[in-house]
Amino acid sequence: MSDDEGPHREQLAQSDCTDQDLLTKDEARERLVEEIDRTRARLDAVKAGSADSDEINLLARRLNAMESIRNEYNDYLDGK
Amino acid sequence: MPLQPWMELISVDDHLIEHPKVWSDRLPTKHLDAGPKITDWERPDTGQVCQVWEYEGRIYPYIGLNAVAGKKPEEYGIEPVRYDDMIPGCYDPKARVADMDIDGVQAMTCFPSFPRFAGAVFAEGEDKELAKLCSAAWNDFHLDEWAATAPDRFIPVAMLPFWDLEASVKEVHRVAAKGAKCVTFPDLPDRLGLPSVHSDHWDPLLSALEETDLVLAQHFGSGGFPPPIAPDAPFAVFITLMGTMSMTAMTDWLFSNTLYRHPKLKIGLSEGGIGWIPYILERCDSVWRKHRFYNNINQDHPPSYLFEKHIHGCFIEDDFGVEMRHMIGIDKITWECDYPHSDSFWPQSRERAAQALEKVPDDEVHRIVELNAREFYNFPRAA
């Protein structure tokens, strides 16, 4: 194997003509954690800047919703 | 910023996972044993106990239950799991709406999973009466339970017992009366042993769709025919070429005489992408100019004429398609987010759409993300 070929990965045994890999709770939580951090930073920046109340409310509501779902995933995944 | 806050994102390609009682809640008692039901099943290779669908004694281990808990994207594969391992938005419409809110998506179009994207699993059924009941039960579930949870958030979808033409026509009228906006139909029906779209077999069904103004949605892969690849090719080759199934389906329509008999038919190519459309239209028209004289094809209009009248595509990530949008037609492009598949950008779909359309004028963005879908699918904003 040349260096360009990279590490060997085992080929999946099954094909899936419907291409249905689903988001998992692990993957969803990981994405949520990243998005929560980004949204919180954005909210802080908006509060420190123009103080647009509409945008602040929108960001805060979305942040709360994401944190709520993240906590549900935490409960499930930590209990495994 | 071209994607304005007041523009609502409408996705025309998403999926739901049927909950365990979709059929047991609706089938007549005498069919409950043979009808689809969730059962525990031990994988022979790993010994893992999985929840799987059982239908007429057949086990369907990999359909709709292949979430891969605990794995990274580079390790995604096809392993059956249990409902508890899925995110609730897969099978719970209230959780789905919550996830849509986070994602900045106003409405979506949810295709089936266990029955396959156009219900082909029921075409395999030995008891055809049961198969028709199963197909109708999915429609009742979708229309009465799933979409009814939030009528302004779900574009109602229906499937057809397409192996029985007369029953399909009846079902089109039944589901239209119940509020369906589109029917899912195999992208390559001939690959399921049925007549192709070049025949006149489907005329009564297509007329029914014209009368009811429902979209005929062809999700790639729904005909069960995979892209022809080498047996030892990496799975990446397969995934890359899935969109070519939509290319094949569209080329069939464009060289058929069928659409000339159904001038009002609307066809949606689901999850197929759009970047390939200018190429295939150019190629079709070139072939038509050189070869139409000895083919049983329309001699008056090039294939692109039918595309403009009948077909729309969608994209989730297709920079080339966005760049070529005027060659496709702004009015022919819709947007999709493919939740809950791992291709989805959830919970960043809105932000990613804004990035993809950053250089597109506002009015064109509005058509692509919202207005075209609302018009094709007769799905106006709630008053």
CATH code of the domain covering residue B248: 3.20.20.140
Average pLDDT over residues B125-129: 97
Q: How far is A18 from chain B, CA to nearest CA, in Å?
A: 6
What's the rounded Cα separation, in Å, for the pair B332 and B9? 16
- Residue A59 resides in a domain: yes
- Residue B277 resides in a domain: yes
- Residue B51 resides in a domain: no
C-alpha distances (whole Å) from B221 to each of A64, B65, B247 are 38, 17, 12
Q: Which is nearest to B135 in space by CA: B114, B159, B156, B117? A: B159
CB within 8 Å: B239 and A19: yes
A28 chain-B contacts, CB cut-off 8 A: 87, 346
What's the rounded Cα separation, in Å, for the pair A74 and B15? 24
What's the rounded Cα separation, in Å, for the pair B49 and B220? 31
DSSP per position, B158-171: EE--TTSHHHHHHH
Type of residue at B78: I
Higher pLDDT, B258 or B40: B258
| DSSP structure class, residue B192 | G
Number of domains into which chain A is organized: 1
- Cβ burial of B63 (10 Å; 0-12, 13-18, 19+) is buried
CB B272 within 8 A of CB B294: no
Higher pLDDT, A74 or B137: B137
Determine the residue of chain B that is closest to A35 in CA distance.
B347
- Residue A45 resides in a domain: yes
Q: Which is nearest to B277 in space by CA: B305, B302, B246, B252? A: B246
Looking up tokens 């998506």, which residue turns up?
B105
Determine the residue of chain B that is closest to A78 in CA distance.
B70
CB atoms within 10 A of CB B298: 18
DSSP H or E stretch at residue B90: none
- Residue A32 resides in a domain: yes
- Residue B4 resides in a domain: no
Domain membership of residue B290 as a residue range: 14-18+87-376
Q: Collect all residues with Cβ–Cβ distance below 8 Å to B15 and sequence separation of at least 6.
A: A20, B110, B111, B112, B113, B117, B338, B339, B340, B341
Q: Collect all residues with Cβ–Cβ distance below 8 Å to B124 and sequence separation of at least 6.
A: none
CB within 8 Å: A16 and B66: yes
Q: What pLDDT shows up at residue A14?
A: 38
Q: What is the ipTM of this complex?
A: 0.79
- Residue B305 resides in a domain: yes
A24 chain-B contacts, CB cut-off 8 A: 67-71, 85-87
Which of A5, A12, A23, A25 should be substituted to probe chain B, the one whose Cβ sees the most B Cβ atoms within 10 Å?
A23
CB within 8 Å: B87 and A21: no
What's the rounded Cα separation, in Å, for the pair B184 and B13? 11
What's the rounded Cα separation, in Å, for the pair B26 and B137? 6
Strand ranges in chain B using DSSP code E only, listed in sequence order: 14-15, 37-42, 49-55, 58-60, 110-111, 157-159, 182-184, 215-219, 266-270, 311-315, 333-335
What is the separation of C-alpha B214 from the centre of its chain, rounded to a whole number of angstroms? Answer: 14
**Dihedral angle, C-alpha B56, B60, B63, B64, nearest 10 °:** 70
Q: What pLDDT shows up at residue A8?
A: 52
Determine the residue of chain B that is closest to A11 in CA distance.
B234
Higher pLDDT, B226 or B158: B158
Tokens of B21: 């009682």
B355 touches chain A (CB under 8 A): no
Q: How far is A70 from chain B, CA to nearest CA, in Å?
A: 11
Percent over 90 (pLDDT), chain B: 80
Residue B54, pLDDT > 60, answer: yes
CB within 8 Å: A69 and B342: no
Which of B117, B343, B346 lies nearest to residue A31, judging by beta carbons? B346
B88 chain-A contacts, CB cut-off 8 A: 72
What's the rounded Cα separation, in Å, for the pair B220 and B286? 25
- Residue A12 resides in a domain: no
Number of domains into which chain B is organized: 1
CB B134 within 8 A of CB B173: no
Task: Read off the pLDDT band of A6 (50, 70, 90).
Answer: low
Q: What pLDDT shows up at residue B198?
A: 98
CB within 8 Å: B221 and A19: yes
Average pLDDT over residues B324-335: 98
Q: Can you name the residues that pair with B341 across neighbouring β-strands? A: A22
Average pLDDT over residues B200-207: 98
What is the separation of C-alpha B44 from the centre of its chain, rounded to a whole number of angstroms? Answer: 32
Domain membership of residue A67 as a residue range: 22-78
pTM of the predicted structure, to 2 decimals = 0.91
B233 touches chain A (CB under 8 A): no
Task: Read off the pLDDT band of B195 (50, 70, 90).
Answer: very high
Which of A16, A17, A66 lies nearest to residue B347, judging by beta carbons? A66
Q: What pLDDT shows up at residue B93?
A: 97
- Residue B27 resides in a domain: no
Which of B64, B70, B238 lies nearest to residue A15, judging by beta carbons? B238
B99 touches chain A (CB under 8 A): yes
CB within 8 Å: B346 and A23: yes
Q: What pLDDT shows up at residue B235?
A: 80
